[in-house]
Amino acid sequence: MKKIIVILGPTASGKSDLAVKLALWLGSKKSKREFGIEGAEIISADSRQVYRGMDIGTGKITKEEMKGIPHHLLDVASPKRIFTVAQFVDLSKKAISKIFKKKKIPIICGGTWFYIYALVNGYCFPRIKPDWKLRKELEKKSEKELFEELKKLDPERAKTIDFKNKRRLIRALEIVKKLGKVPPLKKQPLPYPVLFLGIERDFSELKKLIKKRLLKRLKQGMIEEVKKLKESGVSWKKLESFGLEYEWIAKYLQGKIKKGRMIKKLQRDIEKFAKRQIKVFKKDKRVVWIKNEEEAKKIIKNFLEN
C-alpha cells in the first residue's frame, strides 16, 4: 500500500505528539492485519528542525518522545548554511521510498506549509548551486532591502514570496542573479494518495499553550542553546534570521532588549506566527480538520481501506 498521511497545524498544537500516537497505532498487530502494512515512520516538515543544535527553540522531538518510531529530516544540516526547500523535497522523496520499501506508511508532520506544499505538489526547483560569496553580501542587508531588490529584478517572484523570510529572499535573489529571473515552477505531484489532517485548536486555548510552552523552554535552557550556537560560529545575523525564539534571544544576548520585554515580544510574535499558519492552512480545501486522536484514527481508517 502506497499512501501518505500529512499531519499539520499551528505551532504548539501538538502535531509531533499526535503523529507518534498515530504511528504507534498503525504499528499495532491489529492495524498491520487490518490494513496490510508494517507500521509507519515520520518525516519532519519543519524548516528549523533540519538544523543540528537547534533543539529546544524549535521544539524538536526527543528520542524518548519518539517512542521507537523512526523520524526523518531532523538534524540534516548545519545552522551555518542555508537549507533549501529543494533539498527538503529531495531528502523527503528518498525517505518516502525507503519507508514504502518497508511496507510502512509515511506520516509527514510539521508546520512549514511551504515544505509540505512543495513536496506533495511536486514542485521542481531550479538546481542552482549556492553562491556563498553572494550570500554573505546579501546577509548584510535587511529584509526590506532584499525585497526591494527582488522587486526590481523579478517583480513576479516578489508577488509570491514571503517578504519577511530572509532566507527565501536570499535564495530567490541568488537564482535571479544566475538566471535573470526565477523560472516558473514546474509540477510533478507525488503519484500517491495523500490525506491531509489539520489539528484544530480554539485560539484562546492555543495562546495558553504557547505561553506555557515558552516558559517551559526557557527553563529547559533555550537561552543557553542560543549561546552555544553563537560560540560554535553561527553569527548573530544568522541566528536572528531563524526568527522567533532565535531572533529575540539573540537580541537579548547582544544587550538590545531586556529579558522581560524579550519574553513578551517573543510570545506576541509566536501568536502572530500561529495566526499566519492557520490562515495559510485554511486556504487548502484538501485539509480535513480534527480535534482529537480518535477523529484522526477514524478518518485514517477510511482512507487506508478505500
Residues 153 and 300 in one domain: no
Please determine, for residue 162, whether its predicted confidence score (pLDDT) is greater than 90.
no
Residues 60 and 33 in one domain: yes
Residue 42: which pLDDT band, with cuts at 50, 70 and 90? Answer: very high
* Mean pLDDT of all residues belonging to the chain: 95
Query: How many helices and strands, by DSSP H and E, does the chain display?
Result: 15, 8
Backbone angles phi, psi at 232, to 5 degrees: -80, -5
Residues 214 and 87 in one domain: no
Question: Can you tell me the mean pLDDT for 3-32?
Answer: 98
Residues 118 and 214 in one domain: no
Count up the domains in the chain and report the number.
3
Q: Check which CATH number belongs to the domain holding 242 and give it.
A: 1.10.287.890
Question: What global pTM score does this model have?
Answer: 0.88
Residues 171 and 41 in one domain: no
Residues 248 and 293 in one domain: no
pLDDT on residue 182: 66
Residues 113 and 216 in one domain: no
Other beta carbons less than 10 A from residue 260's beta carbon:
9
Q: Which range marks the domain in which residue 170 is found? A: 132-179
pLDDT on residue 30: 97
Gap between the Cα atoms of 207 and 37, Å rounded: 38
* Residue 232 Cα distances to 80, 207, 239, angstroms: 9, 33, 12
Question: Can you tell me the mean pLDDT for 180-207?
Answer: 90
Residues 195 and 55 in one domain: yes
Question: Can you tell me the mean pLDDT for 56-83?
Answer: 97
Residues 82 and 165 in one domain: no
Gap between the Cα atoms of 153 and 143, Å rounded: 15
Please determine, for residue 76, whether its predicted confidence score (pLDDT) is greater than 90.
yes
| DSSP-derived 3-state class of residue 81 | coil
Residues 95 and 159 in one domain: no
Residues 115-147 have pLDDT tens digits of: 999 999 988 777 788 888 999 899 899 999 999
Gap between the Cα atoms of 294 and 201, Å rounded: 15
pLDDT on residue 163: 84
**Percent share of the chain, pLDDT over 90:** 83
Please determine, for residue 110, whether its predicted confidence score (pLDDT) is greater than 70.
yes
Residues 51 and 191 in one domain: yes
Cβ atoms of 216 and 209 closer than 8 Å: no
pLDDT on residue 124: 73
Which one is predicted more confidently, 81 or 221?
Answer: 221
Return the CA Rg of the chain.
Answer: 20
Residue 160: which pLDDT band, with cuts at 50, 70 and 90? Answer: confident
pLDDT on residue 183: 67
Residues 243-295 have pLDDT tens digits of: 999 999 999 999 999 999 999 999 999 999 999 999 999 999 999 999 999 99
pLDDT on residue 128: 82
Please determine, for residue 17, whether its predicted confidence score (pLDDT) is greater than 80.
yes
pLDDT on residue 82: 84
Cβ atoms of 11 and 210 closer than 8 Å: yes
Residues 45 and 138 in one domain: no
Gap between the Cα atoms of 51 and 80, Å rounded: 9
Q: Check which CATH number belongs to the domain holding 117 and give it.
A: 3.40.50.300
